[in-house]
Structure 1
């Protein structure tokens, strides 16, 4: 505030965020260094806080506001605590929506995308978000996707990127391949109503399975991640130890390989069952039209079950093929069945059925009258054994050849070794996790830097020729294949090895490639000679706090963990995991459903900001619910926050002239003795320091932003109640200075515009978020009163306030004296009183 700006204390000022906020944002926009991080600092700890980068759809929604408000509050708090903070932002800007929008609106994807980015950047600035825009990353620009291609080629050199023909997931609506992680309940992750098909295509893959064990083992070290996310990743990786066993199809040269975790039960196998889409099922069906009709019906059943997300509950059905296979352990012939509950892409697509010792197999065998043979039994009379029985620890094998009498766990290793020694099996580990298919038959993505030459075969594009540029302004509306395949000037190229005629790869990369490593690029965003400088990345990583939705648990989050390990092995970085801590925020709900365009319940941040201001909009997103819970949107709540901020503004500006004059005159720090304080001033200061202590704990230890804001509101009520005392001089200007200065600092992470305005009016200079976070005086922060819940027969009757040092007798007396408690006790006999020191009084009556 300039000296010419004078406040007339007789005229209450009106809180006008529409004037205050744009004025401060204009000032902040001029200073590019305001939120800039220092790449290396001495004597100052680093803190890397990051929200997941958005797709530039053109408009922010309240889910974005909530996510970014959490990160912004944390970044500002850490600045105030003296950290060197990196808080960047960028754009996940390749992908199908831009391509579809381009087709629909006849706008080139690049133009549509960059226009949306410009709009969203304006919205973010209007919200006052503290991003280091000098590090901005846009994944659809060549200065970024060049390094996608560079990393692809480095992975190709290491055998981590490869091409093969395989059965892949195909979304007919997207007209492209999907990775396994992008298939949700049998449907496309972008289109909830579109059932994914299986097609045989030649595609590019990343060998993520090479890191399966490390990805799994590393989960136990991620103690700063939500347990829900860790469980989802464990389940998705799906490690199973067991053995593969080869059954020969009788009378043919064919074999069926089964995977089992219980090879010890193989003497009890009474059938082999294969998936409807198993190659042998197709061969059997080709020779028997009636069988083929039954197989087709099973495939359709699986498709319907996937669509309804009910594969686990599907009624188990099977059909006998009339063929038999030989059990290699005992030479018995067992029938081959096709089962509708067996999936071709899970394990080997075939199982051995041991109905006496597996519930699923027992159900199937009972239904179709298959033999049930017991080969595992506890040390009791087996005639009393209820089936199925799956015991391992306290059991022995029976009727199992040389392994009869042995413990099942002991026998498993021996039998797997026997199978390997005799050429019909081996111990093995299987995973649900499959290699990551990254080919996409779309235009708007990173071109895969591979060339195909008739003479030299498949050739990588030389590193010095990167980037392979994505051509602009092409026709992307045609059907069939990648749009790039219809661009001769892109496809036709010279072979980098022999110089002869060659053709480029026309598939583009999965856009999850872009988001798997973008946060490393933030550490050195303008580097044109490497993806990033390793020293800078090693300084900033791992990310101290990552913030985003739980829906990315087995997509972005598992891919980014994989990518981190690959870059570590390439010598680019030193860390094993991308982020130390992960926070998954709740959704924003309106009218009982998640906000979305399809449901028509979107609330525009621009509308809220125009009516109530950015500070009120942000604060409501943090106040209305704990950040990890869903938030039910209520506009009245934003209005309530706006009224609260207006109270803060009115009262602070009333006393600001005297405080600013006092600050200018005294030029002193705000700590020291409180011995000369009046009782009224001491009471207010005590409340102030109790609030500092509570907010600091809630902020840094528990992220209870809603209770932080509630504490500020409670403090404000105390200040308002003291207004007459301040006017009358009972609370001196020194105390007023401390109270309003700290109030402003406590608000700074949540309401940056208002806090900055008040910070200047109170006579301070510089950004408020660069001031030191207040430290609670331990003596003053002691609670003088505490709340004790009072229960009657275990049900809450009332809450009494007592002195913090009150004795047990005093607390019980306060409980009996409470009007609600006394009314409930009338006419009843007290049996006993249970007292939990400082926590609870429970009165047991009859």
Structure 2
């Protein structure tokens, strides 16, 4: 790839190259040539994507690592003959920008766009091969209009709905918090104690897709630990629903249990403090005020606090009783802190003899403990619950059954009586998407007193965020105070109505952005034909902190789009590379710890390529990586050595033909083995650290004959070395490629291939055994047959010494592997 300017220092100085001159030169050249813009072609496609960042203002070393990993993959695939899509954009909505507006009076859009400009400049300094013509920003109307359109799709398919529910509420910020914004029971922003509060919110029915989200995990080429986290989050349980009638009432309480075999041991019912029947149950109870006080005390605690093992189990009687569905006995109904309103049915049956938590609760409050499962040699009057297998006792017609058989039989009986039956339950709840915030995509719903919740017509999208709003950080969404914006008319009856003032969770924006990259200019969320060509993403690179929510929501979105006939795939990301953290001074690099490093300073001192090479070499991508100034200096020295190898190769001296032949054979073996190893490391194993190690070994081999007149093997080896280097150190590789006389970019050159004949050794080391035990080894020609090996083995001094005095029975020789001498 020829350029108009070639600074003399970069090419003709045989000792070192200037990283600043070389890197700025090629970054400019790539941008002017629009080298990485992607179009349709007859090449096989490869969609490489890194998780796009929140524009916080500055990239940190964690960003540098993740984008370097993705860039290596994209560059390799492009050279390997693929049509590569490698885009970048900005996850730009969110609370930090709004918090800055509250604190500093800077409108969120102004600060967000300024941060984007700075971070984009940093990315360009890194020389990343992004197709910037596809850049998207989720906070811009041309993007969030389609987020709103997709919301309407969910609404039309009955997957978006409103309901009143208990939410996390920060009394200081006076706003709802997502679960991930509650840290140890405190608001992540102001550290106030988070409480539960009932509000009407918008949800997506992700639970409708729970089974498919589980089943399709199996076919994904993802790290097992990530799949396990998703599996556990969805939390499928197979058990039974048991319906208890409330005594002297028309109400019922349903519970889910994985242990229907213990039903005859249920001696009480426990419901959550936020259970909807609480007020009905305590209506005639003399001590109802004490119950209400207890509920108020418990609802200030987070779900995590209430269910923690070391949290004291607290409860209070409601004054009401339930009717056991199989015995007709009355059991008391209690309220307890360890039952959550949004988990399961918000009620559990207490079986203290066979559940340790129930056992401790029953002991504390003097509730009955009834053993219904026993095993041989066990004292049924123990001081802890028995949770193992056994035979049912005191269980009516099911007495004497094995407890596993009893599970099915009791569930069948419940079904026959109309009191429950076999059920599947999931830990995962529906996705709460409402946020009482300004800086997010407005939910495109109009609330009409006559027509109810009415979707905004598609032709009226986007519902734009108003500009004249007041930011206080407290109370309802700032949108609620924008009266000119809120007040509108119903699209159906044309009577006065009000807009929805909640905005969408930013996870909604990031659940479909990879589709927008396929059609960034389309007048629809994406063109189905473009998605059909590019999807699924072939390699998705990002942090392990997004192992559950972002990935789960993206999978959910894709399945909805698949069901709507808009995409041909039901999973968005075929392969996932979850990188480890960047560690410095023994701790995760973060602003709060004061151990951050400026990527600009590092790259300014040692160069972008050296920074990349060190990050790739220091650890496998899925492991944590310890930053080291000595390490990046070492990478810099290695790249300067590669530079000297290519530049100095022009000044050599003649040698004899025998030396030339030996050199060529050695070089060909080293080159072809390096190509094979690096190809497999990058393509199959993502072992970038060992790939760079192989590059170093190849460089050392080529240095051994540096002073020779260049042979054809040496010339070809330098060409191959530069191409192998290109994904890892793209600027230096481009400079050296030009110095070798090539006019096109190295990043569009073909990836090297290898020949099997150069991978074979002329000699091989084999084991020498006596009666099956290895006693010695010897190096022999690879082509040696069994007879030759047998003869050579018996001449080995160690074997002769051990065979002396014994009778030789036979010799078994396996070419290339071993010789076994059998004696007695």
Q: If the length of structure 2 is used for normalisation, what is the TM-score?
A: 0.87
Offset of residue 770 of structure 1? 1.1
Cα displacement string for residues 296-315 of structure 1 (whole angstroms, at most 9, x for unaligned residues): 55556x54x835x9713334
Specify the SS of the correspondent of 2:723.
helix
Cα separation, 1, equivalents of 2:159 and 2:509: 17
2:17 pairs with 1:18: no
For 1:613, the equivalent position in structure 2 comes to: 607
The 1:320/1:458 distance shift into structure 2, 3 A limit, reads closer
For 1:198, the equivalent position in structure 2 comes to: 196
Which of 709, 715, 720 aligns to 1:737? It is 715
For 1:844, the equivalent position in structure 2 comes to: none
Offset of residue 3 of structure 1? 11
Q: Is the 8 A contact 2:621 2:688 kept in 1?
A: yes
Q: Is the 8 A contact 1:181 1:555 kept in 2?
A: no
Q: Is the 8 A contact 2:272 2:338 kept in 1?
A: yes
Q: Is the 8 A contact 1:521 1:532 kept in 2?
A: yes
The 1:290/1:443 distance shift into structure 2, 3 A limit, reads closer
Specify the SS of the correspondent of 1:615.
helix
For 2:31, the equivalent position in structure 1 comes to: 29
Q: Is the 8 A contact 2:764 2:781 kept in 1?
A: yes
The 1:609/1:427 distance shift into structure 2, 3 A limit, reads same
Cα displacement string for residues 763-811 of structure 1 (whole angstroms, at most 9, x for unaligned residues): 112110111111122122235789999xxxxxxxxxx997895989999
For 2:210, the equivalent position in structure 1 comes to: 212
Which of 351, 357, 360 aligns to 1:360? It is 357
Cα separation, 2, equivalents of 1:657 and 1:489: 78
Specify the SS of the correspondent of 1:220.
helix
Which of 692, 695, 702 aligns to 1:719? It is 702
Cα separation, 2, equivalents of 1:749 and 1:18: 19
Cα separation, 1, equivalents of 2:365 and 2:817: 62
Which of 472, 487, 511 aligns to 1:477? It is 472
Describe how 1:674-689 pairs up with structure 2 within 5 A.
Answer: 678-689=661-672
For 1:776, the equivalent position in structure 2 comes to: 754
Judge which range, 800-809 or 690-699, deviates more: 800-809
Cα separation, 1, equivalents of 2:737 and 2:795: 47
Cα displacement string for residues 283-327 of structure 1 (whole angstroms, at most 9, x for unaligned residues): 648834555555555556x54x835x9713334444455543321
The 1:10/1:772 distance shift into structure 2, 3 A limit, reads closer
Q: Is the 8 A contact 1:94 1:511 kept in 2?
A: yes
Which of 553, 568, 575 aligns to 2:562? It is 568
For 2:630, the equivalent position in structure 1 comes to: 636
Specify the SS of the correspondent of 2:27.
helix
The 1:101/1:657 distance shift into structure 2, 3 A limit, reads farther
The 1:240/1:180 distance shift into structure 2, 3 A limit, reads farther
Cα separation, 2, equivalents of 1:317 and 1:477: 38
Q: Is the 8 A contact 1:318 1:338 kept in 2?
A: yes
Q: Is the 8 A contact 1:274 1:349 kept in 2?
A: yes
For 2:587, the equivalent position in structure 1 comes to: 593
Q: Is the 8 A contact 1:236 1:554 kept in 2?
A: yes
Q: Is the 8 A contact 2:19 2:607 kept in 1?
A: yes
For 1:412, the equivalent position in structure 2 comes to: 407
2:287 pairs with 1:287: yes
The 1:745/1:286 distance shift into structure 2, 3 A limit, reads farther
Judge which range, 475-484 or 759-768, deviates more: 475-484
2:674 pairs with 1:691: yes
Cα separation, 2, equivalents of 1:192 and 1:675: 77
Cα displacement string for residues 92-142 of structure 1 (whole angstroms, at most 9, x for unaligned residues): 011111111222232211111111111111111111100111111111111
2:110 pairs with 1:111: yes
2:428 pairs with 1:433: yes
Offset of residue 239 of structure 1? 1.5
For 2:809, the equivalent position in structure 1 comes to: none
Specify the SS of the correspondent of 2:602.
helix
Cα separation, 2, equivalents of 1:369 and 1:498: 60
For 1:48, the equivalent position in structure 2 comes to: 47
Q: Is the 8 A contact 1:178 1:437 kept in 2?
A: no
Cα separation, 2, equivalents of 1:815 and 1:117: 73
Listed as ranges, the gaps of 5+ residues in structure 1 are 660-673, 790-799, 817-835, 841-846
2:392 pairs with 1:397: yes
For 2:810, the equivalent position in structure 1 comes to: none
For 2:144, the equivalent position in structure 1 comes to: 145
Which of 324, 327, 336 aligns to 2:324? It is 327
Q: Is the 8 A contact 1:690 1:782 kept in 2?
A: no
The 1:6/1:613 distance shift into structure 2, 3 A limit, reads closer
Cα displacement string for residues 250-293 of structure 1 (whole angstroms, at most 9, x for unaligned residues): 44555433221222321111222233444555664883455555
Q: Is the 8 A contact 1:209 1:433 kept in 2?
A: yes
Cα displacement string for residues 506-542 of structure 1 (whole angstroms, at most 9, x for unaligned residues): 11111111000000111111002x1111111011111
Q: Is the 8 A contact 2:307 2:338 kept in 1?
A: no
Offset of residue 634 of structure 1? 1.0
The 1:753/1:350 distance shift into structure 2, 3 A limit, reads same
The 1:735/1:550 distance shift into structure 2, 3 A limit, reads same
Q: Is the 8 A contact 2:667 2:714 kept in 1?
A: no
Q: Is the 8 A contact 2:726 2:747 kept in 1?
A: yes
The 1:754/1:558 distance shift into structure 2, 3 A limit, reads same
Offset of residue 472 of structure 1? 2.3
Judge which range, 487-496 or 755-764, deviates more: 487-496
> Size of the alignment, in residue pairs?
784
Judge which range, 473-482 or 458-467, deviates more: 473-482
The 1:51/1:126 distance shift into structure 2, 3 A limit, reads same
Cα separation, 2, equivalents of 1:801 and 1:180: 65
Cα separation, 2, equivalents of 1:339 and 1:688: 70
Specify the SS of the correspondent of 1:312.
coil
Describe how 1:131-142 pairs up with structure 2 within 5 A.
Answer: 131-142=130-141
2:522 pairs with 1:527: yes
Cα separation, 1, equivalents of 2:424 and 2:779: 62
Q: Is the 8 A contact 1:172 1:194 kept in 2?
A: yes
Offset of residue 720 of structure 1? 2.2
The 1:578/1:396 distance shift into structure 2, 3 A limit, reads same
Specify the SS of the correspondent of 1:739.
helix
Specify the SS of the correspondent of 1:741.
helix
Q: Is the 8 A contact 2:172 2:190 kept in 1?
A: no
For 2:57, the equivalent position in structure 1 comes to: 58
2:742 pairs with 1:759: no
2:618 pairs with 1:624: yes
Specify the SS of the correspondent of 1:170.
strand
Cα separation, 1, equivalents of 2:350 and 2:720: 71
Offset of residue 336 of structure 1? 3.1
Describe how 1:265-276 pairs up with structure 2 within 5 A.
Answer: 265-276=262-273
Which of 411, 419, 422 aligns to 1:424? It is 419
For 2:597, the equivalent position in structure 1 comes to: 603
Cα separation, 2, equivalents of 1:815 and 1:276: 84
Specify the SS of the correspondent of 2:637.
helix
The 1:629/1:271 distance shift into structure 2, 3 A limit, reads same
Specify the SS of the correspondent of 1:243.
strand
Cα separation, 2, equivalents of 1:573 and 1:814: 68
Describe how 1:448-459 pairs up with structure 2 within 5 A.
Answer: 448-459=443-454
Cα separation, 2, equivalents of 1:810 and 1:310: 72
Which of 304, 307, 311 aligns to 2:308? It is 311
Cα separation, 2, equivalents of 1:640 and 1:261: 58
Offset of residue 356 of structure 1? 2.7
Listed as ranges, the gaps of 5+ residues in structure 2 are 768-776, 799-813, 819-824
For 2:67, the equivalent position in structure 1 comes to: 68
Offset of residue 80 of structure 1? 1.0
Specify the SS of the correspondent of 1:779.
helix
2:492 pairs with 1:497: yes
For 2:811, the equivalent position in structure 1 comes to: none
Specify the SS of the correspondent of 2:428.
coil
Specify the SS of the correspondent of 2:759.
coil
Describe how 1:77-226 pairs up with structure 2 within 5 A.
Answer: 77-171=76-170, 175-180=174-179, 186=185, 195-222=193-220, 224-226=221-223
